[in-house]
């Protein structure tokens, strides 16, 4: 599978410095709920270290893992709505949290930052969608094989 492009690879050095100076670094212990499905969150998060599991509401299975350089809460930020998944730390994890208000103000002050931010977020969401499509394709293939095998 191709390497994922992280948000930080799309942003300029100045953008990253702004995020680091504006964001609040948090160390999260394992098995901590960072985002709960259905809640409205005031922050987006960039994973600096560690990994987190993504779970759909009412599902007992992890559907994705998010690691360093990846972003959380971007969908609810873009849509200005409640979160669609629960995110739980799988190990000790360091997050950089940036408030919606700070992001919105920065985008107004520097539209080029907004363009780079939204391009990075769009790439991240697109890559996650491609991964999900590959998993669905695999599952559909297994269902077809199970029909042939009469399972």
The per-residue pLDDT for 4 is 46
Q: Return the H-helix or E-strand segment holding 139.
A: helix 111-149
Task: Dump pLDDT digits (tens) for 14-40.
Answer: 999 999 999 999 999 999 999 999 999
Cα–Cα–Cα angle for 107, 14, 76, nearest 5°?
A: 40
What average pLDDT does the structure give for the chain? 88
Task: Dump pLDDT digits (tens) for 41-79.
Answer: 999 999 999 999 999 887 778 888 999 988 899 989 999
Torsion 109-110-113-115 (CA) sign:
positive
Q: Residues 75-96: what's their mean pLDDT?
A: 94
CA distance 101 to 71: 17
> Could you tell me which residue, 1 or 86, shows the higher pLDDT?
86
> Could you tell me which residue, 50 or 141, shows the higher pLDDT?
50
Q: What is the DSSP letter of 133?
A: H
The per-residue pLDDT for 63 is 86
């Amino acid at each position: 599978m191709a390497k994922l492009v992280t948000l930080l690879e799309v942003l300029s050095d100045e953008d990253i410095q702004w995020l680091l100076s504006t964001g609040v670094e948090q160390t999260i212990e394992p098995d901590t709920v960072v985002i709960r499905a259905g809640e409205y969150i005031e922050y987006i998060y960039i994973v600096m270290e560690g990994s987190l599991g993504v779970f759909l509401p009412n599902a007992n299975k992890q559907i994705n893992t998010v690691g360093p350089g990846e972003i959380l809460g971007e969908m609810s930020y873009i849509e200005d709505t409640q979160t669609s998944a629960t995110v739980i730390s799988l190990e000790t994890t360091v997050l950089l949290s940036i408030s919606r208000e700070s992001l919105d103000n920065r985008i107004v002050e520097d539209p080029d930052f907004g363009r780079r931010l939204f391009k990075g977020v769009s790439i991240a969401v697109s890559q996650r969608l491609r991964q999900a499509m590959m998993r669905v394709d695999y599952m559909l293939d297994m269902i077809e094989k199970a029909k042939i095998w009469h399972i």
